[in-house]
Amino acid sequence: GENVGLHLPTLSVQEGDNSIINCAYSNSASDYFIWYKQESGKGPQFIIDIRSNMDKRQGQRVTVLLNKTVKHLSLQIAATQPGDSAVYFCAEKGGSARQLTFGSGTQLTVLP
């Protein structure tokens, strides 16, 4: 995920439906991935992480899927609620590096 673009991709879902947010990452050496949620005017909030030795990890109402073959990461939110409306960022980290590289983000809007 490169930090590119002057606008955020958007996803609108009906309340109660499931949401799937996708992220393509660029570094095949990345071995740790995180999803963050950022509400307007606030800092990013940790949602869930996954290491490269796994392809799926579940949390409360959220699931992260990792496909290393095509360098793709997804976040699934079950039974999406109005409070889930926010910008969601994927972030990757490789090896001994401590810095995260953030994707461009996706604006999720939950419709009533």
Partner 1 sequence: GAVVSQHPSRVICKSGTSVKIECRSLDFQATTMFWYRQFPKQSLMLMATSNEGSKATYEQGVEKDKFLINHASLTLSTLTVTSAHPEDSSFYICSAIAGAGQETQYFGPGTRLLVL
Candidates 12-20, 35-43, 55-63, 71-79; binding stretch for partner 1 (CB under 8 A): 35-43
Nearest 5°: phi and psi at 2? -90, 150
Q: Quick check: 52 binds partner 1 (CB under 8 A)?
A: no
We find the least distance from the C-beta atom of residue 86 to partner 1, in angstroms, to be 13
Candidates 20-28, 54-62, 71-79, 92-100; binding stretch for partner 1 (CB under 8 A): 92-100
Structure tokens at 99: 């810095």
Q: Quick check: 36 binds partner 1 (CB under 8 A)?
A: yes
We find the least distance from the C-beta atom of residue 79 to partner 1, in angstroms, to be 26
Among 47, 75, 89, 110, binds partner 1 (CB under 8 A): 89
